[in-house]
Structure 1
Amino acid sequence: MASSASSDASSMLCYEANYPIYALTLPQDAQSTQAGLRVAIAGGGGAGNYGVPNMIELMNIGATGANITANFEDKTGAISAMASLSATTLAAAIDDRVTIYRLKADDEGVESLHPQVSCSATQSEKADAFVTTLGASASGHILVAALSTGELALADTASLLEDGEPMRPLHFNALSITKRQIDSVALDMEGQFVVVASRERAAQLLPIAISPSNDDNEHDDDVDDADTPLRYSVNFDKRVNLQLSDERYCARCCCCLKNGEVVVGFVPLPKHSSKLRSIVAVFDNKGILQRKRLLAYDALSAVCASADDQFLGLGDMEGHVYVLETRSLMRLQQCQPHPLFVTSLAFAEVPTPEGTDNRVQTRLLSVSADRHLRATVLHGLRRPWLRMLAMLIILLVALAVYLLADMDSQSDSSGEL
């Protein structure tokens, strides 16, 4: 078994919350500064007075730890999911409702989070429906909520990024995608398609369709058509299944790469879980499998890609995290920073201590219900091709030694003749 989290030297504790952490996100266009890298985490103990708060916390992560800059406590329930729409706008989910929060600063520069608009993301009548995960396009103009009911809800959030009060109301278009709970969603860079993984055999790639919506303007003739929010939907007729040929696997988590490829983490079906291990696979947006790798890991729970798509981060149900090289799917690093399953992952460029060679250092941030935000330091992974070059040089040297030895033996044979 892998080493425990407390003794794993390759990961460091950035922050210990007083609540289980379920969500982690980096604000859009987050840049590492001298103060650190801006990160948001969220979670909680649920509704009721259990002594465990439900919190969203923003912090700057630096070389030596985290500094809290703003937070918001909610009494109604635990925050189950979160997504960043802009540097100052966050979306967070409690039960079936999604709330938009805006980060504001007073005259002295003290920041605080303020809820702006909120609405339900489901059309289901089930009382226990809840948002499992949130996703946002790179522009922050499209917000997607996945639900335990198998619904996928899409909203136009472009106008919510603008300054000014009040905000336009938030409206979701909820669509029934599957009969199973959706575990993971991802949008491509351009906001052209959304990928969902719901523990079915195939992950679904669904093209996003756009049409005008007049919901806000039915009784308002003064609103210009240009200000009318868009209605986002998905094109079921053009859906693409991302699946393995092995029917013993189901899709568990997903993320999108900037080149249009999709990464899907597959886990064995429950009846095969004792004999099989997880698989990570990369597909193009036509559903054609590009490459895959059988992993000697426990069931995957999360996947993410670095900003330059060079690395993949994986988390599993036993608290391990792994770093793979995206192009080859070669494993570069692994450790166990958490004793409980990894709930969310993100790569980050974190400032390094003064006096070091590099200004920033790539780290894989991970959170878990163990209440810890930890950073796994990526050692020597900036140029993985150097490893391949070193191996090639070793092979060439070995070949040269072999050829020289062969030539010497032939010379000895000629001398005897």
Structure 2
Amino acid sequence: MAFEGLSSKLQNVFKKLGGKGKLSEKEVREAMREVKLALLEADVNFAVVKNFVNKVTERAVGSEVLESLTPAQQVIKIVNEELTALMGGTGSKIEFGSKSPSVILLAGLQGAGKTTMAGKLAGYLSKQYGKSPMLVACDIYRPAAIDQLKVVGSKVGVPVFERGQADPVETAKLGVEEARRQLKDLVIIDTAGRLHIDEGMMDEIAAIRDAVQPAEILLTIDAMTGQDAVNVAKAFNEKLELTGVIVTKLDGDTRGGAALSVKAVTGKPIKFSGTGEKLTDIEPFHPDRMASRILGMGDMLTLIEKAQSAFDEKKAVELEAKLRNDEFTLEDFLDQFEQMKSMGSMQDIMGMIPGMDASKLGNIEIDEKQVARTQAIIKSMTPKERRKPDILNASRRRRIARGSGTTIQEVNRLINQFEATRKMMRQFTGKGKKGGKKGKRRFPFGF
């Protein structure tokens, strides 16, 4: 995850402060100097860093902090507040405007991830806002750009309008007309990547904007862009009058300074972030939550939202009934695995837990392929074997190992894990003890 290096350094700074009962002005200023270096190393723009550190220092050296019983906590609180303000203060919602269909225009450099983000955005807005989107292909320069948009469109179930290598300005206009004809209420226009110093290409995207009058003009910035993100954002904002920014590839091992600089430089809010390669890996950008993650305070709200979107409420009710009646099967076990997998990688999930230093997870190898092996083993069983694993004798286990391309030891390990899980479930329901009263105990998390 981005900001791991920055997060680790800031946590070390605050750990030093926390070891002292009282703080002097000198100690606060020394800590702020380390914060400044950490931000600069994370590729945050120098002017932005200077302004941020001055604001924090001014507040932190006040008598209210220095004379407090918990001065270190007060300093962390100030840094958290200023970091949140730096990234925009509060989350900024997507605007659809009053016209139908609403038009969203994506702009940015080559390789920033606009085409994939167009698909992610279409899928997200369709699911979360009930929109009926259409994608319009206006990148006529990059080989296979239109084919790529068709692929992502088909994966999220969204139609794509394209006219091959025809004029992109005319294509954008006709795309909006076609969306209106098909009663679509949202158009997302994928444009060609362009350098901000290429006047001809910048004039072209300005012409597309004038032709379709978008409700949102979103600059797509790669989190790995670094210091140049400021120049890119400035140039695009001056030419197009941006309404917001999308930061992509925040899941990468990158410094992520772009996300901290772009709002301060352009005054435009970050509206979304790309957090992975899957088309579901898109999150609304919440400055307060991101600040908490950077400072090692976790992000429980996003974790809860991910869980709510991944777990089917109807299935949860059915699972509760099965657990109470001691009917938990390997099919249910597989279903839980798949729902957990849809929440994202274990590193990302662990990084959202308060107090968890994401950088320390780098040495922990979480074998994502193990989930695939588990799926293969269970799917190699017959429906009867999944429902009644007690019938799995040595002969059946050998057949399952051959069918799943695994070993008998791996099959045995999975069965043992399943039995341990089922035993734990029995204890929750009170069935693990003799004379336990059925249905009297409550499960964790509302079960």
TM-score bracket, shorter-length normalisation: under 0.3
Q: What TM-score, normalized to structure 1?
A: 0.28
Instruction: Give the number of the structure whose residues are more often strand, by fraction.
Output: 1
Decide which structure has the larger Cα Rg and report it.
Answer: 2
Q: What TM-score, normalized to structure 2?
A: 0.27
| Structure with more relative contact order (C-alpha pairs < 8 Å, separation 6 or more) | 2
